[in-house]
Chain A
Amino acid sequence: MIHIDKDTCKGCGICIAVCPKSVLEFSKELNQKGVNYPEVVNEKKCILCENCMIYCPDFAVVVKKDGKK
């Protein structure tokens, strides 16, 4: 499961670029900071590589494997 804290996001787009399976895309709406945040569009394609979490400079993306904590 990918959880995105949309109001912490500053919209740099690194998570979208480093995703090997194009799971994420920019949203059409703006967040509190006035930027387009990433949204999960193809959750089924996600391989839980955690790239989006590791590269997020604002700790806004959390990847958790289902069934584990």
Chain B
Amino acid sequence: MVNPVTHNLKKYFRGEINYTTCPGCGNGIVAQAILWAIDDSGIDFDNYAFVSGIGCSGWIPSPAFNTDVLHVTHGRAIAFATGLKLAAPNMKIIVTAGDGDTSAIGGNHFIHACRRNIDLTMICVNNQIYGMTGGQIAPTTPYLSKTTTTPYGSVERPFDLSKIAIAAGATFVARWTTFQARQLRKTIAKAILHPGFSFVEIISQCPVQYGKVLKKRNDAVAMLMDYKERSINLKKARELQKSELKDKIIVGEFVEERNVPELTQEINRLREEALQKCQR
């Protein structure tokens, strides 16, 4: 071929597109959804900044995306992003974190960012296991899963991250699986424009580590089809009994609240009031 065809999203990358994830990993689908949403938003890519923590999901923006990317310490992605947002309030800041970053080591940062309602977009790639370190149990691993650290089955109940976000006061909460990539793209576009803390949870496949638990090792297709069957929309789920929703993944946009005080605006207001008092 004389002119090799380039991907429509190639312009957002630093050099060649080269993801080092395992075959069939959901990270690439999430990365594509984020970039398509940014493409749809019409905002210049230089106005975005990405903050990512440690874990497989940390490698979605870093070092691939051709804009400001901070790859920070484990669990502290939101803490760094809060500082960045307060220093540069006009920037659109997207945090990509995994379930370990969000619920285990960074649990407190997460709930306090929800409570403060700071204008960040948080994208949590929930693969329900610690994938990078070898398949240990995570706070989101389902009940009775046999992982490397729970060979007889986990007896702990998992976290429902979206419910935590709603309870902690996040003003935009949504959950999709990687099978709903088109809906995910629209939701991320909405979340970027939402004034306040927006939390998008994505149930993503980990064919290598979590596939082993489900006895579908290295079979990303089977895991995706499993999500297709198990996911149920919020509107439908409301009509069903609790027993019918066992093993189902409720997907959809749970909360969208506006007119809630936002942290950077509040701090600006406070600063102006203090300045006026000084001048008097």
Residues of A within 8 A of B (CB): 1, 3, 8, 10-14, 16-18, 35, 54-59, 62, 64
Contacts and interface: CB of A to CB of B under 8 A. Distances in A.
B115 to A, nearest CB: 34
Contacts of A55: 29, 181, 224
A59 B9 contact: yes
Assign chain B's interface to a size class: 20 to 34
User: Interface SS of chain A: helix, strand, loop or mixed?
Assistant: loop
A1 B1 CA distance: 13
Max chain A Cβ within 10 angstroms of own Cβ: one of B27, B32, B181: B32
A8 B17 contact: yes
Contacts, number: 65
Interface in B14-54: 17-19, 21-29, 32-33, 36
Nearest to A63: B8
A53 to B, nearest CB: 8
Contacts of B220: 12-14, 57
A25 B181 CA distance: 22
B102 to A, nearest CB: 21
A4 to B, nearest CB: 10
B23 to A, nearest CB: 4
A12 B221 contact: yes
A59 B28 contact: yes
B85 to A, nearest CB: 29
B34 to A, nearest CB: 12
B24 A14 contact: yes
Closest 3 CB pairs of A and B: A57-B28, A12-B24, A10-B23
